[in-house]
Structure 1
Amino acid sequence: MSTHADWRLFRGDGRQRQTPLPPAPPWRRFGAPTSAPGSAGGPRHLPYLISPEHSDVVSAALHLRRPLLVTGHPGTGKSSLARAIAHELSLGGILHWPVNSRSTVQDALYRYDAIGRLRETSLSRDRGEEEPSIGSFVRLGPLGTSLVPRGRPRVLLVDELDKGDIDLPNDLLTVFEEGEFEIPELARLPEAQAEVEVLTAQSDEQALLVRGRLRCEEFPVVVITSNGERDFPPAFLRRCVRLELPTPDEERLRAIVTAHLGEGAIAEVDDLLDAFLRLRATKELATDQLLNAVYLRAGGVDLSAEGLLDAVLHRLGGAV
């Protein structure tokens, strides 16, 4: 535990020091599964708190094999829900498609490196070697990988769909309805090359395509998040199960802090919680900002230092 005197890791005085870094917050540790505070035995994922009525909506989407469209303010746990579903149902790691203004359905399905294939084919011919398979230059994207036939479905997180092109939701409809797609570059190959193994979004996995077509056995668990920045077409909404996550109230915020940081962290959090709720009433804040403040306080960081608490609890919307 740090003290007020030594919590400053960076001093800005130009002097080099062999300063040991403290442990990262549980939600910022990478490489190994995260242990929850107070857990016994092996590591496990951080807990995800959700009300029974909202978990029932998730279950409905799973029963119907329909995409789950999750809306809510930033920091309400939209993206984390996909990871919680994958963990609780033992469906493995999630496939993540972060959407931006340049995203297309084709890129999410697959990419074909035609230039790389031409170069490698030319080099192989010059060396008198066998030409590489076209499958070495086709890689499935997160959406395409989620449709690879397997016994149990994968979880696909389509993150912030409202940041994409206005036509992107409609472009997804065919794939969501049919659960299959075709790669024309493979469909045009001669009969002798009807079966081709291609790369997937998972480095240790390949997929076998016949005549360039891929069709799922089990429709993936699709979680689509949206910050509500724009409306989606009715045809798209009709094919989704909708879940709106509420902004956590004081009681749920206390439960979230306890779940992530342990019972000890909640003991002296009243002033931070009051400040967070007061600021959230006038500007947009995310729950993880409160967790950041509590974690720093628990680590001995002096949040009364000028401007520090404001830097942690900064507003999310508008000019910085």
Structure 2
Amino acid sequence: MTWTPFYLGDGTPRNVDLGAPPPWRTFPREAKPERFQPPPRLVEAVNAALALRRPLLLTGAPGSGKSSVIKQVAAEVGLGAPLRWHITSRSTLVDALYRYDALGRIHAQRLAGDSDDDIAPFVRLGPLGTALLPSERPRALLIDEIDKSDLDLPSDLLEVLEYGEFEIPELARYREDVVEVREWDGDDCHPIARGRVQCSNFPFVVLTSNGERDFPAAFLRRCIRYTMPVPDAASLRRVVAAHFGADVEPSGPVDSLVLSFVARLRAGESLAVDQLLNAVHVLTSDQAPEGDAAQNVRDLILRELTGA
């Protein structure tokens, strides 16, 4: 089928069929944990973390599949939908444990009078706080891009990772002994007595790092550490096959993309696996661009990440 561009740049309105999106760009997203292909020794690292009830620290280049690990583990082991805490330079431990809307409570008190002072609507557990609630099965928690955090955050996490407990001071001082507090990932509430949360099963925690900084030894010794390897051609063929539902034919157009991608990785270029998947989707479809257009699209999708 001849390639027909969606956009021509002439300003003329058209009814354009954009075709089906890539499998990983459909919304709402449907979890497909079987698509992730674990690299060598990752299975052993995951099992060690599960057995020891220790966090798993995954280090690797952006797009190497670090955040996909927890989805597959949670689905396979039966830990429920993973919670997610995305780290920025402004992230704090308190934000991950709970959120308290003090101004909202003051405003509600002024409207309702002192006789109606219910703190519960103004406290909500964060992703880490929710993961530490007592439960029959451990929860799964992704702490994404821990190396983007403030320098003190890994050290702040030490006590929580060691003892699996924390206090909400606002509830500890409240007149009621037990308060129903809303969880992070929905409207379910959990009773918290005297502001104290203590896990009964330590959650399965996966921390990801792009390798942009070092961490304190006290933090590292509490984690099982694994570095994502640079993928080879065989592993990338399995990844492509898992996403597109067909084996990669030797000497075919997909294999050519894979081999070129591997060669660039070995030459020291920074590329993400999802760039390869994007290129396969666009360049091997029924309406794939041809000739110079194909090369231009390939260059745009597979641009080196650190050379901008």
Normalization by structure 2: what TM-score?
0.92
Structure 2 distance, partners of 1:284, 1:172, is: 31
Say if 2:297 is the partner of 1:311: no
Which runs of structure 2 are paired with 1:256-267 in the superposition (5 Å)? 256-263=239-246, 266=249, 267=252
User: Which of the numbers 109, 115, 124 marks the counterpart of 1:139?
Assistant: 124
Q: Report the CA distance between 1:33 and its aligned residue.
A: 2.2
Structure 2 distance, partners of 1:22, 1:264, is: 22
User: Which of the numbers 4, 14, 17 marks the counterpart of 1:17?
Assistant: 14
Say if 2:276 is the partner of 1:278: no
User: Which of the numbers 87, 93, 102 marks the counterpart of 2:75?
Assistant: 87
Partner of 2:87: 99
Structure 1 distance, partners of 2:221, 2:145, is: 19
Q: Report the CA distance between 1:27 and its aligned residue.
A: 1.3
Structure 2 distance, partners of 1:223, 1:264, is: 30
Say if 2:106 is the partner of 1:118: yes
> In structure 1, what residue type is equivalent to 2:160?
V
Structure 2 distance, partners of 1:243, 1:51, is: 11
Structure 1 distance, partners of 2:9, 2:195, is: 58
Structure 2 distance, partners of 1:206, 1:274, is: 51
Structure 1 distance, partners of 2:115, 2:27, is: 41
Which deviates the most, 261-270 or 306-315? 261-270
Which runs of structure 2 are paired with 1:161-176 in the superposition (5 Å)? 161-176=146-161
Structure 2 distance, partners of 1:76, 1:26, is: 18
Structure 1 residues 45, 54: CA separation in 2 closer, same or farther (over 3 Å shift)? closer
Q: Is the 8 Å Cα contact of residues 56 and 206 (structure 2) preserved in structure 1?
A: yes
Q: Secondary structure at the match of 1:97?
A: strand
Structure 2 distance, partners of 1:83, 1:157, is: 9
Partner of 2:63: 75
Q: Report the CA distance between 1:262 and its aligned residue.
A: 2.0
Per-residue CA deviation, residues 200-246 of structure 1 (Å, 9 max, x unaligned), is 21123212110011111100000000111111000000110111110
Partner of 2:275: 289
Structure 1 residues 310, 51: CA separation in 2 closer, same or farther (over 3 Å shift)? closer
> In structure 2, what residue type is equivalent to 1:259?
A
Q: Is the 8 Å Cα contact of residues 265 and 294 (structure 1) preserved in structure 2?
A: no
Partner of 1:55: 43
Q: Report the CA distance between 1:51 and its aligned residue.
A: 4.1
User: Which of the numbers 221, 224, 227 marks the counterpart of 2:210?
Assistant: 227
Structure 1 residues 32, 99: CA separation in 2 closer, same or farther (over 3 Å shift)? closer
Q: Is the 8 Å Cα contact of residues 70 and 224 (structure 1) preserved in structure 2?
A: yes
Q: Report the CA distance between 1:278 and its aligned residue.
A: 3.2
Q: Is the 8 Å Cα contact of residues 231 and 262 (structure 2) preserved in structure 1?
A: no
Structure 1 distance, partners of 2:185, 2:247, is: 39
Structure 2 distance, partners of 1:215, 1:138, is: 17
**Structure 2 residue ranges without an equivalent (≥5):** none
Structure 1 residues 77, 32: CA separation in 2 closer, same or farther (over 3 Å shift)? closer
Q: Report the CA distance between 1:279 and its aligned residue.
A: 2.8
Per-residue CA deviation, residues 103-142 of structure 1 (Å, 9 max, x unaligned), is 11011111100101111222223xxx96252011011111
> In structure 2, what residue type is equivalent to 1:308?
V
Which deviates the most, 246-255 or 201-210? 201-210
Q: Report the CA distance between 1:291 and its aligned residue.
A: 0.8
Structure 1 residues 247, 166: CA separation in 2 closer, same or farther (over 3 Å shift)? same
Partner of 1:39: none
Q: Is the 8 Å Cα contact of residues 124 and 130 (structure 1) preserved in structure 2?
A: yes
* Matched length: 302
Partner of 1:188: 173
> In structure 2, what residue type is equivalent to 1:138?
V
Q: Secondary structure at the match of 1:76?
A: coil
Q: Secondary structure at the match of 2:51?
A: helix
Q: Secondary structure at the match of 1:13?
A: coil
Structure 1 residues 231, 313: CA separation in 2 closer, same or farther (over 3 Å shift)? same
Structure 2 distance, partners of 1:63, 1:157, is: 18
User: Which of the numbers 178, 185, 188 marks the counterpart of 1:202?
Assistant: 185
Structure 2 distance, partners of 1:197, 1:4, is: 61
- The list of structure 1 runs, each at least 4 consecutive aligned residues, that deviate by more than 4 angstroms after superposition, is 264-267
Give identity over the alignment, percent. Answer: 48
Structure 2 distance, partners of 1:83, 1:60, is: 17
Structure 2 distance, partners of 1:285, 1:51, is: 17
